[in-house]
């Protein structure tokens, strides 16, 4: 960050009002969003139910029907309820004992709806696709306001063909809604700094509250708001903002966010004493409860329980985290940076480094664009320091929409340099080649977007050697496995499946893979690389210890079915 840039940025003209965006640009943006929706819809129909969806959709339906938000508090209710909305029309069966845990609810739901199981989740996924389309529209609008309409279209192009956006947009999980909440909060912060009024502060508070209802990332978002205001107040001294009552505006935003958050939970347990919270007895909040059991915090009790679970969720007794061939129970501080580096297209990586360097050097191209960069830095910092759950790039997914915005003016500037002699033509050709590279990488892997890795990781075929779990293998390939077995006339296979769903739901006949198995054998990439987990066998979940199936690495696979490897064991 550079003070000279912050001061210089004040003098730059405001971007054009988004209401004045030409009709042709609006039409082009609509076409890009339609292309994005079509790609995501195809993927939604092709992927089987993933691990998180398995419980999240039934929990969302349970919340809609009962109004009880206490089940699985680690995830807030709004996203799951939105995903489950279409299910109110089709009324799938969900009859479970009152004390059923969230994973148990997933199994009850699966058994009671086996015949329509995939179709139910496709309907839930459609809501997430709509949700993500709103994020795409916001990316276009903010980039257009900051840098101009051409930059808005460039940012939206990156969004529409991003394999990481497409990988999670078509799944009924909280990842893309979290990205929407983070981007909307950052945008609302920028708007309040542009127009510091009570109305903009209220809008910011609503955005912050809804974002926390979508995904438990409120701490990062609060930091984004406060740091953005502090930077503005400090860097724009003497240029018309000295008298702005920032403290009052922040307090107003905070109160509105708190009211929105409590309303979203139906005020369940608001201001209840800490003694009523269900906390990990060895966690930080439990120590606070033991010291001050009478303390009342003005947040919903399910939210407080969820925050406690987040703080303690990454603790592992066995080596369950994987990076570049190694298993660890503690993980690596740089895991999320490494995952980002391996799962992000090389042209976007290069553009990100350039945009960040130019911003730090005081050569940024937008007014108060620190509102774009600050959240990116905070998201990475928060995951490095606080998030010990190292299972996927999706935990930093929120940086991608912001980076699409940040690099868009530089892409446009490079493309427009084609008329400036040989050097400009070379720069434009390089930028054009980078865009084609980006788009081609996504189309090449479509619709198996979770399988995307960049060339630094060896591409989609080599990525499993560096990252597993939700980076590549989330239980999404049972439909493809069924098709593979039909095509090869295989009636039964030896199987080790990383997922929660009973493969029999998708018509797959199998026997559990063991040492000494012979013949056609299928194993998920995550199990192949040694990660421990449960999987569904004989009507119950069984634990697979670490490195149970790594002995298979000595054999050469005969085929690849998405995230699964096929062997013909002697």
Given a contact cutoff of 8 angstroms between Cβ atoms, the answer to whether 327 and 547 are in contact is: yes
pTM as predicted: 0.93
**305, 286 Cβ separation under 8 angstroms:** no
Determine the pLDDT at residue 205. 97
Contact 300, 267 (CB under 8 A): yes
To which residue do tokens 């807030």 refer?
76
* C-alpha to C-alpha distance for 109 and 127, rounded to whole angstroms: 19
pLDDT attached to residue 203 = 97
Q: Which of 166, 73, 184, 179 is nearest to 125 (CA)?
A: 166
Secondary structure string (H, E, C) spanning 329-383: CCCCCCHHHHHHHHHCCHHHHHHHHHHHHHHHCCCCCCCCCHHHHHHHHHHHHHH
Could you tell me which residues come within 8 angstroms of residue 251 by beta carbon, excluding any fewer than 6 positions away? Answer: none
Q: Do residues 104 and 22 lie in contact, with contact meaning Cβ atoms separated by under 8 Å?
A: no
Pairing of strands 564-569, 519-524: antiparallel
Q: What SS3 string covers 142-190?
A: HHHHHHCHHHHHHHHHHHHCCHHHHHHHCCCCCHHHHHHHHHHHHHHHH
pLDDT at 239: 52
Q: Which of the residues in the chain have pLDDT under 50?
A: 1-18, 241
- CB contact at 8 A, 141 and 97: no
Write down the pLDDT at residue 238: 56
- What pLDDT score was predicted for residue 218? 67
Strand partners, 533: 544
Preceding peptide of 447 cis, ω within 30°: yes
**Residue 282: phi, psi to the nearest 5?**
-105, 5
Distances (CA, A) of 333 to 381, 387, 467: 10, 9, 15
Which helix (H) or strand (E) segment holds residue 202: the answer is helix 198-214
- Helix-, strand-, coil-residue percentages of the chain, each rounded to 5: 60, 5, 30
Alpha carbon separation from 128 to 123, 169, 207, 363 (Å, rounded):
9, 6, 18, 37
Q: What is the pLDDT of residue 4?
A: 36
């Amino acid at each position: 960050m550079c003070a000279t840039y912050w001061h210089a940025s004040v003098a730059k003209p405001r971007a054009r009002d988004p209401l004045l965006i030409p009709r042709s640009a609006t039409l082009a943006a609509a076409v890009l969003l339609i292309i994005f929706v079509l790609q995501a819809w195809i993927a939604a129909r092709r992927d089987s139910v993933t691990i998180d969806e398995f419980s999240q959709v039934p929990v969302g339906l349970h919340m809609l029907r009962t109004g009880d938000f206490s089940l699985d508090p680690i995830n807030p209710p709004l996203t799951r309820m939105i995903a489950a909305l279409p299910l109110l029309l089709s009324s799938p069966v969900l009859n479970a004992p009152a004390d059923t845990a969230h994973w148990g609810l997933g199994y009850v739901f699966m058994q009671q709806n086996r015949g329509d199981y995939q179709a139910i989740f496709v309907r839930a996924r459609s809501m997430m696709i709509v949700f993500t389309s709103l994020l795409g529209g916001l990316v276009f609008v903010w980039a257009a306001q900051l840098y101009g309409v051409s930059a808005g279209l460039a940012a939206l192009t990156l969004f529409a063909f991003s394999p990481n956006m497409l990988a999670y947009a078509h799944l009924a999980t909280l990842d893309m809604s979290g990205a929407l909440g983070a981007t909307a909060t950052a945008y609302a912060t920028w708007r309040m700094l542009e127009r510091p009024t009570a109305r903009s502060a209220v809008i910011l508070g609503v955005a912050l509250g809804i974002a926390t209802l979508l995904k438990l990332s409120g701490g990062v978002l609060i930091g984004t708001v406060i740091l953005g205001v502090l930077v503005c107040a400090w860097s724009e001294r003497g240029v018309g903002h000295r008298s702005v009552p920032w403290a009052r505006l922040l307090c107003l935003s905070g109160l509105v966010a708190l009211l929105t958050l409590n309303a979203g939970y139906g005020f369940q347990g608001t201001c209840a004493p800490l003694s009523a919270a269900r906390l990990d007895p060895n966690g930080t909040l439990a120590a606070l409860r033991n010291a001050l059991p009478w303390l009342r915090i003005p947040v919903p009790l399910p939210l407080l329980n969820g925050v406690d679970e987040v703080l303690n969720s990454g603790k592992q007794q066995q080596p369950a985290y994987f990076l570049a061939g190694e298993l660890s129970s503690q993980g690596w501080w740089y895991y999320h940076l490494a995952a980002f580096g391996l799962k992000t297209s090389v042209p976007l990586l290069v553009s990100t480094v350039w945009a960040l360097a130019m911003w730090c050097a005081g050569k940024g191209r937008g007014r108060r664009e620190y509102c774009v960069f600050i959240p990116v830095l905070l998201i990475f910092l928060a995951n490095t320091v606080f998030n010990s759950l190292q299972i996927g790039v999706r935990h930093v997914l929120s940086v991608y929409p912001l980076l699409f915005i940040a690099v868009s003016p530089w892409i446009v500037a490079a493309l427009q340099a084609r008329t400036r002699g040989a050097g400009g033509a070379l720069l434009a050709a390089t930028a054009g080649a980078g865009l084609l590279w980006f788009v081609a990488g996504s189309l090449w892997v479509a619709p198996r977007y979770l399988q995307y890795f960049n060339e630094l990781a060896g591409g989609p075929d080599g990525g499993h050697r560096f990252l597993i779990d939700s980076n590549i293998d989330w239980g999404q390939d049972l439909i493809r496995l069924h098709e593979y077995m039909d095509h090869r006339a295989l009636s039964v296979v030896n199987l080790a499946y990383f997922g929660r769903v009973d493969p029999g739901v998708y018509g797959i006949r199998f026997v559990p893979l063991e040492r000494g198995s012979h013949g056609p054998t299928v194993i998920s990439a995550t199990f192949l690389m040694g990660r421990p987990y449960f999987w569904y066998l004989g009507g119950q979940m069984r634990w697979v210890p670490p490195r149970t199936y790594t002995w298979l690495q000595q054999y050469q696979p005969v085929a690849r079915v998405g995230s699964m490897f096929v062997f013909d064991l002697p």
